């Protein structure tokens, strides 16, 4: 489960414009600008597969954790099923907080 620290880090990354989501996220994974992708647990299986396949092909880290509501509230946008972290520092910090 995404804890308070991770959610606040996501908020900080969002305010620093180091977050990618939606169609732009797939493009950023392809161009290797994303270091970590977080997918909501309640996303559809098709969505999870699309992002995990893309991440494994391009060698990006992926976490399936939290809910759509958690991710959306953390970055201040509605209905976000997947979020990409475009800053290595934020990505490493989030992974360390989740023990990954």
Q: What is the pTM of this model?
A: 0.93
Q: Show the domain range for 9.
A: 4-97
Q: How many domains does the chain have?
A: 1
CB 84 within 8 A of CB 28: yes
CATH of residue 39's domain is 3.30.1330.30
> Per-residue pLDDT tens for 45-90?
999 999 999 999 999 999 999 999 999 999 999 999 999 999 999 9
Closest C-alpha to 39, from 17, 58, 64, 3: 64
Confidence of residue 100 (pLDDT cuts 50, 70, 90): low
C-alpha distances in Å from residue 28, one per residue of 12, 18, 73: 19, 11, 22
With CA atoms as reference, report the closest residue to 38 among 18, 16, 1, 64.
Answer: 64
């Amino acid at each position: 489960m995404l804890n308070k620290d991770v959610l606040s880090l996501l908020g900080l990354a969002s305010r620093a414009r180091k977050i990618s989501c939606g169609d732009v996220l797939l493009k950023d994974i392809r161009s290797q600008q994303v270091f970590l992708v977080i997918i909501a647990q309640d996303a559809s299986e098709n969505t999870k597969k699309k992002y995990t396949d893309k991440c494994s092909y391009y060698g990006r880290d992926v976490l399936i954790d939290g809910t759509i509501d958690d991710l959306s509230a953390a970055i201040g946008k509605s209905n976000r099923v997947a979020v990409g972290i475009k800053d290595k520092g934020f990505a490493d910090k989030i992974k360390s907080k989740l023990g990954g």
